[in-house]
Amino acid sequence: MKIAVFSDIHDNFHNLNLVLGEIKKRKITTAFCLGDFISADIIKSIIDSGLTVYTIWGNNDGEKYKIMKMAWESKGKMILSRTEHMEVGIDGKKAFLIHRHDFVKSLAKSGDFNAVFYGHNHIQYVEKLPNGCLLANPGEVSGHGTGKVSFMIWDTQKNEVETIHIKNPLLVTK
């Protein structure tokens, strides 16, 4: 199974649409969103994409009541955690999703997960630990932190990721 992984949208609709278009081209139907979407309008775009999305909160998300209501009304298209982290069992694998990067290495070293995905610092990163756990940050959708827009595709069977860099993103400085 292939799963798209993206993070740190920060209300950049243009770049999100580019990412969702690339995901659709690859016929991927499931995604992990690692937080910092900011507004409920972004969530509407994600739900309307047709993906089944496992979503966690970031440290820059507003309109929480409206977002929770939209997730509930999506009838399973958006699975929303109550916190900045979530364990997901999918395709016989176990993934841990977390927004912040403070203790991701310890989570990956624990041996409890096949993959640990995180966001927050906007820096794309991939490491395969000796225990076989994949530790990865897909980078950012917004482009305002690094000037680069990227997401990842996790191949659950190979336990590897492919990084996709978006061409012609809209870069907005904060």
- Do residues 55 and 27 touch, judged by C-beta distance below 8 A? no
Helix (H) or strand (E) holding 24: helix 13-25
Residues 105-136: tens digit of each pLDDT: 999 999 999 999 999 999 999 999 999 999 99
In this predicted structure, the answer to whether residue 171 has a pLDDT above a threshold of 90 is no
For residue 122, what pLDDT is reported?
96
The angle subtended at Cα 33 by Cα 31 and Cα 37, nearest 5°, is 140
In this predicted structure, the answer to whether residue 174 has a pLDDT above a threshold of 60 is no
Could you tell me the pLDDT band of residue 168, with boundaries at 50, 70 and 90?
A: confident
